[in-house]
Amino acid sequence: MHQDGAPATFAEAQDLIDHATRIGFYVAYDHRVAGGCRSHRLSGPDECPFSTEEAAWQWAAAFSRVCPDRFVNIYVVDLHYRPVPRYYERILNHYPG
């Protein structure tokens, strides 16, 4: 990669394309803390995303039952951390409710 982050080789450019077009989903949520909420995403460089949106929603539902007053506004996002279409209709532990 160039210093500015631009690809320097075909392989680096192909990696960017592959990353932009792969499919997967993560779970996002807010953690209630004194004075408000702090946003989080359950993801990391070594974590595999869910392969389907429905699998991510099922896991989110299980997570929502752990501490429903502490973990709120739980929803599914794509690999680019954008909320999935119509996520607001399925948001779990909606706060303020």
3-class DSSP assignment, residue 27: strand
Structure tokens at 86: 């119509």
Domain boundaries along the sequence of the chain: 23-90
pLDDT at 6: 76
Give, for 77, the enclosing helix (H) or strand (E). strand 71-78
Instruction: Let me know: does 84 contact 76? Beta carbons within 8 Å.
Output: yes
Structure tokens at 73: 């506004």
Cα–Cα distance between 70 and 40 in angstroms, integer? Answer: 13
pLDDT at 35: 83
- Residues 41-79 pLDDT 10s: 876 556 778 889 999 999 999 999 998 999 999 999 988
What is the model's pTM? 0.74
